[in-house]
């Protein structure tokens, strides 16, 4: 790829990643608050910081991990590279660089979303308004995704958009599973736990899909297996890995040449970890270790794609 094409490919890839990241973070904030409704102590906001490895960065600006501070940090703080506001600003900046490759409708909707985020204040991120706010953010991200699906040409740009989307989606699904599994597996009240498992599934838009597989109940091992291995559920890690493999194959064919050895090695490593890393003996510790391993492999694949395609 030429330097110009490599730069555009990186822009498309990261635009997709940032949009997917914003939607997934909105889901995680929403589910964190939802789980806490039956907890008299309220949400454990430190858990969200731990999940993203942001505790040290957060403490440089805030003394206490309370709702107001954490929600500002993750929703409004443009200086925080893991916030929704930062993600949408970066998605828009990347889209500006490839304005000639995306539709007017997509560019317009992204600007509307960006302006909405820029207009939010502390009043808008109150805990009582969090679920409504997260729903708005998720719907805006889904609207842009729908426009991309309906308007992007199915060429190289589309493949790099899909790579960014599915790498980020796989990573974020492991995070949703991680934040929910430890809490719910330790619960004592079966009725409450069943409701909360359902809330976790709804947080990834997977409740009805899961029920089609398991009509009777919500068991920890079934939910974990569904989010990891179901090859027909759009946010399952297995489906994301399959889509990544297809896109990488298509790019290789379109751009010519043999399979890139470094990318193929990273892809196979991720695929192997997913297929062999977890058996039927589900425990919190085993699952967390497995999820950590998956996140490392996903990160390695993303880095390798960048080295091969974007650094020319």
One digit per residue, the tens of pLDDT, for the chain of length 312 reads 555 588 999 999 999 999 999 999 998 888 877 766 655 455 678 878 888 889 999 999 998 988 899 999 999 999 999 999 999 999 999 999 999 999 999 999 999 999 999 999 999 999 889 999 999 999 999 999 999 999 999 999 999 999 999 999 999 999 888 877 666 555 555 555 666 777 788 878 898 999 999 887 667 778 888 999 999 999 999 999 999 999 999 998 888 765 688 999 999 999 999 998 776 666 777 888 899 999 999 999 999 999 999 986
What local confidence, expressed as pLDDT, does residue 142 receive?
96
Task: Decide: 76 and 83 in contact? Cβ < 8 Å.
Answer: yes
Q: What is the DSSP letter of 17?
A: H
Task: Decide: 211 and 220 in contact? Cβ < 8 Å.
Answer: no
Task: Decide: 306 and 10 in contact? Cβ < 8 Å.
Answer: yes
Quote the pTM value.
0.90
Angle among Cα 157, 117, 240 to the nearest 5 degrees reads 40
CA atoms within 13 A on the CB side of 24: 26
Task: Decide: 310 and 1 in contact? Cβ < 8 Å.
Answer: no
Helix axes 130-151, 104-118, angle to 10 degrees: 160
What stretch of H or E contains 253?
Answer: helix 237-255
50 Cβ contact partners less than 8 Å away, ≥ 6 residues apart = none
d(CA 171, CA 241): 10
d(CA 287, CA 177): 9
Radius of gyration of the chain (CA): 19
């Amino acid at each position: 790829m030429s330097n110009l094409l490599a730069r555009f490919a990186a822009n498309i890839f990261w635009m997709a990643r940032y949009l997917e990241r914003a939607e997934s973070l909105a889901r995680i904030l929403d589910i964190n608050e939802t789980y806490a409704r039956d907890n008299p102590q309220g949400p454990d906001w430190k858990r969200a910081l731990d999940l993203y490895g942001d505790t040290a960065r957060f403490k440089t600006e805030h003394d206490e991990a309370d709702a107001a501070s954490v929600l500002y940090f993750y929703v409004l703080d443009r200086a925080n590279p893991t916030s929704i506001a930062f993600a949408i600003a970066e998605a828009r900046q990347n889209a500006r660089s490839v304005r000639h490759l995306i539709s007017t409708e997509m560019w317009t909707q992204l600007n509307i979303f960006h302006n909405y985020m820029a207009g939010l204040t502390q009043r808008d991120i109150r805990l009582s308004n969090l679920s409504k706010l997260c729903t708005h953010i998720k719907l805006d991200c889904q609207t842009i995704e729908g426009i991309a699906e309906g308007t992007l040409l199915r060429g190289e740009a589309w493949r790099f958009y899909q790579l960014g989307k599915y790498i980020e989606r796989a990573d974020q699904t492991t995070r949703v599973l991680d934040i929910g599994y430890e809490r719910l597996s330790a619960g004592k009240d079966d009725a409450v736990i069943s409701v909360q498992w359902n809330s976790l599934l709804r947080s990834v838009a997977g409740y009805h899909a899961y029920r089609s597989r398991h009509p009777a109940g919500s068991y920890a091992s079934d939910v974990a297996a569904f989010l990891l291995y179901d090859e027909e559920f759009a946010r399952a890690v297995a489906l994301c890995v399959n889509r990544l493999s297809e896109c990488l194959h298509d790019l290789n064919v379109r751009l010519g040449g043999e399979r890139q050895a470094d990318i193929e090695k990273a892809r196979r490593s991720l695929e192997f970890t997913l297929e062999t890393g977890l058996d039927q003996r589900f425990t919190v510790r085993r699952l967390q270790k497995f999820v950590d391993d998956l996140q490392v492999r996903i990160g390695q694949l993303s880095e390798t794609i960048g080295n091969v395609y974007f650094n020319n």
